[in-house]
Chains A and B, each alone.
Chain A
């Protein structure tokens, strides 16, 4: 579960380094996990998703890892760029379409 409040956890990363954003989920019955990126003043943008029967999935410069034993999800961004600065949300889906729950989010700051 995520803490609720006005202050997002922040991850500061040097440009060119790899970033790892973590998420703890609560529902062991969730069948899909999704990562979204939200830039300031915009709507969330889909990055990558992973089914619950997978441990790892790779996209372009991103990798999602799923550890069901400890209910942990992570998003790895390779060679982080200034354009990666945003808030990142994990979300989990259980059963039907309506069962999507978003986490609180992590703010990624890329230092040039």
Chain B
């Protein structure tokens, strides 16, 4: 199993550009999430999905879109990049194992918006 994979690892965008961050998992997990992590801070939830075709907003959803057409993939779209979106983005997935709440995180995408 590859676990959770994310592409690209690094990206530089100009203000106003759009792009899609890719996330895939091969563990057949129902739940997937996107977080952003700013320097010296914890993770903040952007969007999440509880299954194919079902998504919802997290704590900081503005400026981002998601879709979940398959169980495996959960792409994050930046509609019009802004410098405030400079951050490290993590995708995570988890199943429904009883008695535990374990999320598996990808390696992250480091995004810089100039």
Contact = CB atoms under 8 A, between A and B. Distances in A.
Do chains A and B interact in one complex? Answer: yes
Nearest to B107: A43
B41 interface: yes
A43 B105 CA distance: 5
B101 A2 contact: no
B42 A89 contact: yes
A5 B111 CA distance: 20
Contacts of A7: 40
Interface stretch (B44-52, B69-77, B78-86): B44-52
A44 B40 CA distance: 14
A98 B39 contact: no
B56 A98 contact: yes
Contacts of A93: 101
Interface residues of B, number: 29
Interface string A1-24: 010111110000000000000000
Given A42-B108, A44-B105, A98-B56, A89 B40 contact: no
A93 to B, nearest CB: 6
A102 B105 CA distance: 14
A40 B43 CA distance: 15
- 3 closest A-B pairs by beta carbon, nearest first, are A43-B105, A102-B42, A6-B40
B41 A104 contact: yes
